[in-house]
Structure 1
């Protein structure tokens, strides 16, 4: 896989990298992540081939427990937006920049915490393996963490949303909002963000000929 020149590049994988396990129509991607727990595996069920990859921030509480991406409230909003864009989620590779749920315990609840730069960079080798394996025509970065993981660019998202940038892998990356950002808003602000997400997903589907 092509690496970008300069100070930022894809890290080398650990001695025992992630590996795909084939199913009839999907792939489960499993590997331990030493940042959180060396004994715990992350997995996600994904299409065997995809022209489009969507990358989020990290699993949420439910995704972490069930081992599949985008099945919580933000995931439902994303899937609704994909449907509005005429996109079949079954044809898209769904993954996250960081592979484990970072949280702060509050009694029986686990409250989401944003991954820091070190955690994003630590998981970049894994994302690089996914990109090399799938070789998508286009990657959509959902939110700032995914955008940084894919491009190495930490410029605020508001100045970049809707733009196509060159990723560290040498391919195009479309920048858009993470659905969780929409859930944190209400009224007209939420409507505008959701409309922008659907617009970007429609563009991505058109570029990759999914509609």
Structure 2
């Protein structure tokens, strides 16, 4: 933008023209990824996490009597990504079943069933997809806890990795949190790469 600056009260003054360039936009913050060596959670895959979500590796052996809460059938939680700093209540959790292989859709079916923990399951919607350049599957479902009168809605995807089958689950506190947290799940799915 050109700005003309004239000396006030002096008719013989020659206006000076000063060119000022538009202010440069601040550099975009680099996306945070989990999975690579040195990241908050080292995994056989890597993916971007949503802004302000906080990843933390889970050491199941250190949980003692609570270790069973970190297991869903053959799958064990390896990483929890907390949505609370972004204003939502819930997690994106990465589960791995070491040495397990097979059809990703079958992994999801057993995962959903094992994770019910005496709750009613409804509305399961499965689809086969490509994630990270390979065959994968995804599912969305709801659970209802009669005792607590509490309804939750979840999404998850599964794929095979060099360490075994993996399920990444969006786990909101309640069904009403699901829509706001879904973009973080979709970001993980869209940016995932599988380690060799």
TM-score (norm 2): 0.28
Larger Rg: 2
| Larger helix share, 1 or 2 | 1
TM-score (norm 1): 0.26
